[in-house]
Amino acid sequence: MTEERETPASTTSKLAIVIMAAGKGTRLKSRRPKVLHEIGGKSLLSHVIAAAREIVPPEHIYAVVGHQADKVKAAVASTGIRFVEQTEQRGTGHAIQAAREAIAGFENILVLSGDAPLIQPETLSALWHFHQAQQAAMTLTSAEPADPTGYGRVIHPEQPDPPHRATAVMNALLDQPQKLGAPSFSQPHREKGGRPQPSTSLVHPQPSSPEVVAIIEQKMLSPEQLPLREVNMGLYAFRTAPLLANLGTLDTNNPHGELYLTDMAHVLHAAGERVVAFLAPDADQLLGANTIAEMMALDANLRMASARRLMAAGVTIFRPETCVIDADVEVGPDTVIEPFVQLLGSTRIGSDCKIRSYTVVENCSVGNDVVLLQSCVMADSTVADGARLGPFTRLRPGCEIGEEVHMGNFVEAKKAKLHKGAKAGHLAYLGDAEIGEGTNIGAGVITCNYDGVHKHKTLIGNDAFIGSDSTLVAPVEVGDRAYIGAGSCITKDVPAGSLAVARAHQVTKEGWADSRRAHAAPNTSPAIDPNNVGFKA
Ligand code: UD1
Ligand code: CA
């Protein structure tokens, strides 16, 4: 917890969080706004908001929205955060300009990207404390990935200077990067720093202080700057007064013609303000997603984190890299999860359960000692202790499966309540039905719940026996201990303790088949007279 939460009265105006979420996400090639793409079962923006809410109250969080703003707002409105409209998306600097009024009343802001969903509150809190301790006007979060390509590079005072802006833009546009870093402006600084740095080297000296003079975007790097490995991760803290005083000086002299928030490092430094870098303890948390492939890498990262969390809590997960487990899923100890299982949404699973491969459980609550055999597909339902389902059991929304219920192969249920010990072993459809304790549903039983217009209920009592291949035309009730003969089509209520058979009588003609065979001509297949086959009443 931060000081912000502990003493809200004295610091309510101290810190706000701005989440930049207006961008189009051109590189995704998607019609959906980037920040509404989902990983780990939640939108990118929802993940970021969840972290931000751990630091400040929701009314101090501002999401900058623009591209399909209404859709984005509607998707996260329930979080209680505020919104700022950036009608035209002219860059990250422009996004913060759009938030001018919103942030003016706060002493400091943290700026987050809506497309970096793995961020954890501890990191935000660490950045906030570092920013205050450094008394900086701007603190950017940096990291040193093995491959820095594509990121803005952090320039410290002893490192190659930012190239002259106009030259940089010209060269980037002409795609002649070799012209960028003329020795005339990088050489003297290297001598000053006393650390000669050959331009071919891939290692740069560790910054002696966190002080930063500029951030240079990939496309504007000089050859000397290309090897720099410390990159800007897109997470910042600003003191609002110097930010607002200088925000207007950003320009669009860059290959994208955008207003870059990253240029504030240079602008503030030039204005005599302190700009520092906070080297992130866990850079993986700050990874952003600009393409679908990057997003899927983050998804794998997030699901793996969920699997690790469960394993640390005593859950056995075989081949966890094949399982898809959402962030909010809970599983009790000693439950065993086989490869290729998906546990989604708000699913809760008890202890000592076995979940076999290819089972997909979404928003379900499952008790203890439950076995879900292979390929069960279950949504929005509850399953009580000791139940055994599958393989290929389908629970559609609204099912309540009681203790020790057994549901087997290809049994589909929807809004069905099965009481303790009920059994439906094979190939059944149970829709809008209630099935009493200990009742046995035979193979192929169907509750006919839909008359083409309305849905109707089937009620079956305790310890009843529904013979195989029976159809129960709802609305209909079958009493306790009643017995339905196989193949019946039940259209009327069946009282407790009685037998109901509703099918045509069997006709048996002894010797018929043999005599027909004997009369058939040799070497020809038996002719079938359609009038002489079948039943006569
Ligand atoms: C940005 C940084 C780069 C850093 C990288 C880290 C800039 C210019 N560059 O690049 O130094 O290494 O993040 O991931 O900031 N957005 C708006 N309005 C706009 C444009 C963008 O709200 O007009 C939002 C986007 O929706 C996104 C965030 O700002 O959530 C970042 O924008 P993006 O275009 O993804 O920046 P990067 O190219 O990743
Ligand atoms: Ca990005």
Task: Render 70-135 in DSSP notation, one character per residue.
Answer: HHHHHHHGGG--EEEE-SS---HHHHHHHTHHHHTT-SEEEEEETT-TT--HHHHHHHHHHHHHHT
Residue whose token pair is 């790097």: 221
Q: Kindly state if the Cβ of 254 falls inside 6 Å of ligand 1.
A: no
Tell me what pLDDT residue 191 has.
27
DSSP result, 215-241: EE-GGG--TTTTT---EEEEEEEEEHH
Per-residue tens of pLDDT for the chain, all 537 residues:
344 444 443 444 799 999 999 988 888 888 999 999 999 889 999 999 999 999 999 999 999 999 999 999 999 999 999 999 999 999 999 999 999 999 999 999 999 999 999 999 999 999 999 999 999 999 999 999 988 999 999 999 987 665 444 444 444 434 333 322 222 212 222 222 232 333 333 333 445 589 999 999 999 999 989 889 999 999 999 999 999 999 999 999 999 999 999 999 999 999 999 999 999 988 889 998 889 999 999 999 989 999 999 999 999 999 999 999 998 899 999 999 999 999 999 999 999 999 999 999 999 999 999 999 999 999 999 999 999 999 999 999 999 999 999 999 999 999 999 999 999 999 999 999 999 999 999 999 999 999 999 999 999 999 999 999 999 999 999 999 999 999 999 999 999 999 999 999 999 999 999 999 999 866 655 555 656 555 444
Residue 268 corresponds to which tokens in the numbers above?
């503030």
Residue with tokens 């890299």: 321
Q: What is the model's pLDDT at position 92? A: 97
The CB density around residue 536, as the number of other CB atoms within 10 Å, is 6
Strands 42-43 and 38-39: antiparallel
Location of structure tokens 């339902």: 381
Cα dist. 523→103, 217, 512, 527, 530 in Å?
96, 88, 20, 12, 21
Closest ligand 1 atom to 23 CA: 26
- Residue 301 structure tokens: 């990262």
Q: What is the pLDDT of residue 183?
A: 25
Substitution site in 17, 18, 37, 113 for ligand 1 pocket (most atoms within 8 Å of beta carbon): 113
Q: Is 261 in the pocket of ligand 1 (CB under 6 A)?
A: yes
Q: What is the pLDDT of residue 327?
A: 86
Q: How far is Cα 50 from Cα 159, in angstroms, rounded to an integer?
A: 37
Strand partners, 201: none
Q: Pairing state of beta strands 324-325 and 231-239?
A: unpaired
By three-state DSSP, how is residue 253 classified? coil
CB-CB contact of 137 with 279 (8 Å): no
Q: What residues contact residue 235 under an 8 Å CB cut-off, 6+ apart?
A: 110, 111, 112, 113, 116, 119, 123, 124, 127, 140, 141, 280, 286
**Tokens standing for 365?**
């609550």
Which is the catalytic residue, given 129, 164, 189, 426? 426
238 CB less than 6 Å from ligand 1? no
pLDDT reported for residue 24: 85
Q: Which residue among 27, 92, 287, 291 has the greatest number of ligand 1 atoms within 8 angstroms of its CB, and so is best to mutate?
A: 92
Atom of ligand 1 nearest to the CA of 217: 11
**Nearest CA among 284, 237, 230, 290 for reference residue 264:** 237
What does the pLDDT read at residue 510? 97
pLDDT at 190: 27
Residue 68 near ligand 1, beta carbon < 6 Å: no
Ligand 1 centre distance from Cα of residue 234 (Å): 7
Asked if residue 225 lies in contact with residue 155, where contact means CB atoms within 8 angstroms, the answer is yes
9, two tokens: 């009265």
Nearest to 8 by CA among 62, 81, 47, 58: 58
184 Cβ partners below 8 Å, 6+ apart? none
Q: Which among 457, 449, 451, 454 is positioned nearest to 429, based on CA atoms?
A: 449
| Å from CA of 21 to ligand 2 middle | 10
For residue 37, indicate whether it is catalytic: no
Residue 453 and residue 469 in contact, taking contact as beta carbons nearer than 8 Å:
no
Distance CA 164, CA 160 (A): 12
